A and B are shown apart, each in its own frame.
Chain A
Amino acid sequence: MFATKFDYQKASSVSEAIQLLASNPGAKIIAGGHSLLPMMKLRLTSILMLIDIGGIEEMRGISVANGILRIGALTTHAEIADSHDVKDNAGILWETAYGIGDPQVRNRGTIGGNISHADPASDLPTVLKVMDAKFTIQGTGGIMRGGSRTVSADDFFLGPFETALGENEILTTIEMPVLAANQHAEYAKMAHPATSFAVVGAGIVVTVENNICTAARVAVGGFTPIPTRGPSVEQALVGKELNEENIVAATSLIHNDLGSDVFGDVFASAEYRQAMAAIELKHAIYHATGFAHHN
């Protein structure tokens, strides 16, 4: 409950934060702190310096332009869950943000912090993967000197708590294409009763034309080192009518896409979670297509 000693610096701009990172080996970025502080308090990690980026205004905000939804990395889950822009253009993200943790976690926790932490039990990585999101990362070069790069969600997550972020880099912006009228997206999860973390999470984006699925992006997470795309399921869905029989048949193929590295714990074993991946995918598609019917 009491962290070890550390130094603290508040950065007022992205470039200042990057400078601080570069000049203080072992320093860590803190935004809302909801990923990092619990670990520090339990002394599971000890950090020499915290660089607080919480006050950097340029990293906040939600906007939509040219078919792209842009979200600043410091935007909180609550701001996403309260945003009409997100609701109208990426309903899946809007609903997912509302289901993260609890109101207090949503008030402090940020989308960028969540992604950078890359907790396998988190919801957002799975959702951002099916939404084909791109992450803007800034490093020591500074944006004007070409120090910025873009990494897709598919390439960003490398393992549990491990991402493509380099030593002195900060995730600044999340972008994703807005959903088209014929695209339906949904995230379904089995939530842990204590934490609301994903025991199994399943995200889908399906494109439906004349009742036929013409494209699908599918991912599951919560029990794999990183969110796992489901190409077998995607292939089985495309070209099919989204009826119960086809949905059940397609989603049951998810086990083909899961590697051997599947997590289990005292609440839910790996075997169970694997089986539930198909179930949650099924729920997600049911909800998404139900939504489609009602429109």
Chain B
Amino acid sequence: MNIQLTVNGKVQEKDVDPRLLLVHFIRDDLGLTGTKIGCDTSQCGACVVSMDGKTVKSCTCLAVQANGSEITTIEGVSNNGELDPVQEAFWNNHGLQCGYCTSGMIITTMELLKKNANPSDDEIRDGLKGNICRCTGYQNIVKSIQAAAEVMRS
């Protein structure tokens, strides 16, 4: 089936098998390997991308379902090499170790802060329910998100 969608501002048109998952389309067909696959049951959030302004698990979405949508992956978050405040905050606050969950964490954070500019720690932790990190114990991720929120508020 032929699909057309915009990924990181660039229109992409491809013929895909209906069963192709969006995450495989992004990684294998478009070569945007910053989006990761960490599980096969929609639990871990390593594959989170933004679709029409909302975060989705790209492993639980068919590429054909994304037809006509606008997708932002981690590669599209920074602007001409300038880091987004969320990326900067993860860097400044050691919000990552192995980096494998980080793309999903950052995309999730961007929506979280869009919906709630001044979240409590508990609200942040709740907002990370769909993202597993095995390295950081989450503490510095929460700290990073608070730091990003502060920068974005000012």
Contacts and interface: CB of A to CB of B under 8 A. Distances in A.
A193 B18 CA distance: 33
A102 B65 CA distance: 20
Contacts of A42: 40-41
B29 interface: no
Between A42, A54, A78, A104, the greatest number of chain B beta carbons within 10 A of the residue's beta carbon is seen for: A104
Contacts of A52: 64-65
B57 A104 contact: yes
Contact of B45 (A1, A78, A104, A107): A104
B93 interface: no
A194 interface: yes
A7 interface: yes
Contacts of A7: 18
Contact of B55 (A34, A107, A196): A107
A194 B43 contact: yes
Contact of B18 (A8, A34, A54, A194): A8
Interface residues of A, number: 31
Contacts of B18: 5-8, 50
A103 B130 contact: yes
Contacts of A34: 42, 60
A195 B43 contact: yes
Given A104-B57, A107-B56, A1 B40 contact: yes
A38 B64 contact: no
Given A1-B40, A38-B42, A195-B43, A102 B61 contact: no
A5 B19 contact: yes
B76 to A, nearest CB: 18
A196 B37 CA distance: 21
Contacts of A103: 55, 108, 111-112, 127, 129-130
Interface string A1-15: 111111110100000
A168 B60 CA distance: 25
A94 to B, nearest CB: 15
B27 interface: no
B19 A4 contact: yes
Interface string B13-33: 000011101000000000000
Interface in A34-91: 34, 37-38, 40-42, 50, 52, 54, 78
Contacts of B98: none
Given A6-B18, A101-B130, A104-B130, A37 B61 contact: yes
B143 interface: no
Contacts of B54: 78, 107
Contacts of A6: 18-19
A102 B129 contact: yes
A293 B55 CA distance: 38
Nearest to A34: B60
Interface string B34-51: 000100111101001000
Given A1-B40, A6-B18, A38-B42, A108 B129 contact: no
Given A52-B64, A104-B42, 18 more contacts: A3-B19, A4-B19, A5-B18, A6-B19, A8-B64, A30-B65, A33-B60, A33-B61, A33-B62, A33-B65, A34-B60, A38-B42, A78-B54, A104-B55, A104-B57, A104-B130, A107-B56, A195-B43
Interface of B: 1, 17-19, 21, 37, 40-43, 45, 48, 54-57, 59-62, 64-65, 67, 108, 111-112, 127, 129-131
Interface of A: 1-8, 10, 30, 33-34, 37-38, 40-42, 50, 52, 54, 78, 101-105, 107-108, 194-196
